[in-house]
Structure 1
Amino acid sequence: MSVRAILSGLAFAFTAYIAVRVVLIIGEPAPHPAFMFVGFAFYLVVTWICIGWRPSSARRASMGIADPALHITTANRLPVWAAALALAAAVLVPLTTTYAVGEDMTTAPYATWYLGGLGALMVIVLVRRRAWMAWAGIAVLTIESMVLMGPASALALGLVGSIVWVIVAHLVRFSLDRAARDTSQLAQLQRAASAWQSSQLVRQRERRVQIQRALAIAGPVLSRVVVTGGVLSDADRLEARVAEGRLRDELRGPRLLDDDVRAELERARRRGAAVTVLDEGGLEGVDEATLARIRRELAETLRNASSDRIYIRTSPHETIAVTVVGRSVSDEGLSDEDAVDLWREIQHV
């Protein structure tokens, strides 16, 4: 059972207690009993509406609100028309009760029930987030009760208690709202901290993977350098250049690489080509199936390439995913700009 249901049940029980108490303590017959019961029935109906009425739109909205502070503010607000009914009860109930019992019995126990009853109603209105209406109702109750039974009698018979109830309810609601806002802020900070920690863990994992891959690639070459004292053969120098290229590829364009692409890049370098791989954006959010197709086309392009220098770049263009450019030294001595012998644009779709 929710806290709201428990509090609503207590409010219903309290108003039912007031009803039973009023019926039991009626002593002498009132001159106009119909007005007494009509006013009391109007009070009960308005009070139960203020307790239980919750528009279906507020229920639907509260189901989609993750912020507890927003949930309290929107889902628990009393409709304006219900708050207006409560204010009307604060105006009419003292008048009908006083008319029903007569001017001589305004301080009788069964004639002063509205002091506590309307005070409880204004507490409900305030808790349902209509503070101005609640304080307006208390002001009306104060003025009317003092006029109808005198200031001293009104203060002695329950008006002070009603005012204190509303003050305490206002302070408690303010404290709860502040606690809800603090809880919401702490939850947001916790989510942000968890996201930051997760990103750091992912980065640490990526760094470990990169270090392990670097050791696997460069380890044999470095061992060979140590063994030979830096005096490398042509084959060793080739292995060093290939290893350096593989490391650069892993750092600059990891999203473009799979086993086939790595094999073709190594083959191109071993035949003497200079290969540059750069990931300059454009592949963020691309699904695995599209990435696999792009890599297949890139591997096929490299397999058929014979250029001396190959440049592979991702593209932020909406339709072009990867651009592959190959240049070679021309036999006719043309400039590099005129020696482009490979141009391939791999599409996103």
Structure 2
Amino acid sequence: MISVKNVLVVLAIAFTAYLAARGLWWTTAPVPQPLVVVATLGLYLATTWFCIFWEPASAAADEQPDAGGIRGPRRLPALAQFLALACAAIVPSAIAFAVGPDSRTASFATWYLGGIGALMTIVMVRRRPWTAWTGIVMLAIASMVWMGPLEALALGLVGSVVWVTCAQLLVRSMDRAARDTARLTRLQRAASAWQASQVVRQRERRVQVQKALVVAGPVLTRTVANLGELDDKDRLEARIAEGRLRDEMRGPRLLDDDVRAELERARRRGANVTVLDEGGLDGLDEDALSIIRGQLAETLRSASSDRIYIRTSPDARIAVTVVGRSPSTGGSSDEDAVDLWREIPHPGVG
């Protein structure tokens, strides 16, 4: 499969091979040490391609963070760094020695200026900037010693410095783009989550409105038809409808058909019932909720209190607490006695 990475790898191989091939183009005179030249070229190519291709599995732990799905080049392993620095130290001096003093500025003898620069560019792209700049300094020192400062600068040293500099700027720009992409991805996910939550809330509001219309619609219709003049029966139905709406809004997870029927029965006999879901039922599946609702309906079926308070409990053992209060024998509402106390445990809790 053709990808940007594969294209860059092919270009790096072709370019370094071309630079190394220049070292074999002896057009002026035979070199004094041809075997040294060939061995040096082999060392250069092996090291360069080693730095291009070597990505051991252990390098994954040393890899740059994957930001927003954009993965940059992996860090060059320590052994490859050592080989790259050794190549930067050996190749210039070996070539200068092998070609002799009369050919040190010939084109086939100055290839290492671009070759080591390309190698250090690869090292820079593999996220080893200190190693890359160390290699450039070693190249600059060796080439200036063997050629002279002006000749080294004129024959390719400046270009190698420019390549490494551009590579470092490119890597930094790529990392910055990856961070920006990751940040935008997080913002997009947050916006999508917020939008989804709004859709869910709108759906819940529509469901609550529909329930309210079902419960309060008949009462409102009769109220409008009678111009607000309600008899005792209609007032009772209005109070029951209001209580059912409060139950649906404040404690929907506590309700099923049996619980709703018992709540309505308690209100019809004149009890004041309050249902509050204050947490504690989160994470329970439908089977567990069914068990809790069954026990709640059973408790309400036998309750005779004038005021009944039903609350969920944050306690790890207790799911729902039911408290009933009725006036004491003295008749004072401020001295209501607790005549019902029931704690419904979480299913499976002894």
Provide TM-score, normalisation by structure 2.
0.90
Corresponding residue number in structure 2 for 1:57:
58
The equivalent position to 1:204 in structure 2, one of 202, 205, 222, is 202
Q: Is the 8 A contact 1:91 1:141 kept in 2?
A: yes
Equivalents in 2 of 1:91, 1:266: separation in Å? 92
Corresponding residue number in structure 2 for 1:286:
284
AA of the residue aligned to 2:45: L
Q: Is the 8 A contact 1:50 1:78 kept in 2?
A: yes
Deviation track 1:60-102 (CA, whole Å, cap 9, x = no partner) reads 8879956346x43xx6111233223212211111111111112
The equivalent position to 2:301 in structure 1, one of 287, 293, 303, is 303
Cα 1:65/1:155, change in 2 over 3 Å: closer
Deviation for aligned residue 1:194: 0.7
Q: Is the 8 A contact 2:62 2:74 kept in 1?
A: no
Equivalents in 1 of 2:127, 2:63: separation in Å? 16
The equivalent position to 1:313 in structure 2, one of 307, 311, 314, is 311
How many residues are aligned here?
346
AA of the residue aligned to 1:342: L
Query: Are positions 1:116 and 2:119 aligned together?
Result: no
Cα 1:115/1:186, change in 2 over 3 Å: same
Equivalent residue runs for 1:212-227 within 5 Å: 212-227=210-225
Deviation track 1:22-52 (CA, whole Å, cap 9, x = no partner) reads 3344653322233222322222222112111
Corresponding residue number in structure 2 for 1:345:
343
Deviation for aligned residue 1:265: 1.2
Deviation for aligned residue 1:119: 0.6
Corresponding residue number in structure 2 for 1:36:
37
AA of the residue aligned to 1:275: V
Runs of 4+ in structure 1 displaced over 6 angstroms? 60-64, 334-338
Q: Is the 8 A contact 1:282 1:317 kept in 2?
A: yes
Cα 1:212/1:150, change in 2 over 3 Å: same
Corresponding residue number in structure 2 for 1:101:
99
Secondary structure of residue in 2 paired with 1:111: coil
Q: Is the 8 A contact 1:76 1:129 kept in 2?
A: yes
Equivalents in 1 of 2:165, 2:67: separation in Å? 30
AA of the residue aligned to 1:237: R
Corresponding residue number in structure 2 for 1:9:
10
Equivalents in 2 of 1:11, 1:207: separation in Å? 61
Equivalents in 2 of 1:167, 1:58: separation in Å? 25
AA of the residue aligned to 2:100: G
Equivalent residue runs for 1:1-349 within 5 Å: 1=1, 2-25=3-26, 28-59=29-60, 65=66, 67-68=68-69, 71-72=71-72, 76-331=74-329, 339-349=337-347
Provide TM-score, normalisation by structure 1.
0.91
Equivalents in 2 of 1:85, 1:218: separation in Å? 83
Deviation for aligned residue 1:335: 7.7
AA of the residue aligned to 2:5: R
Q: Which deviates more from structure 2 when the two are superposed, residues 277-286 or residues 194-203?
A: 277-286
Deviation track 1:245-283 (CA, whole Å, cap 9, x = no partner) reads 011111111222222222221121112211100111112
Deviation for aligned residue 1:287: 2.5
Cα 1:26/1:270, change in 2 over 3 Å: farther
Equivalents in 1 of 2:250, 2:5: separation in Å? 57
Q: Is the 8 A contact 1:138 1:163 kept in 2?
A: yes
Q: Is the 8 A contact 1:327 1:336 kept in 2?
A: no
> Unaligned regions of 5+ residues in structure 1, if any?
none
Residue identity over aligned pairs, in percent, reads 64
Equivalents in 2 of 1:327, 1:255: separation in Å? 24
Query: Hey, which of these two has a bigger chunk of helix by percent?
Result: 1
Q: Is the 8 A contact 1:119 1:163 kept in 2?
A: yes
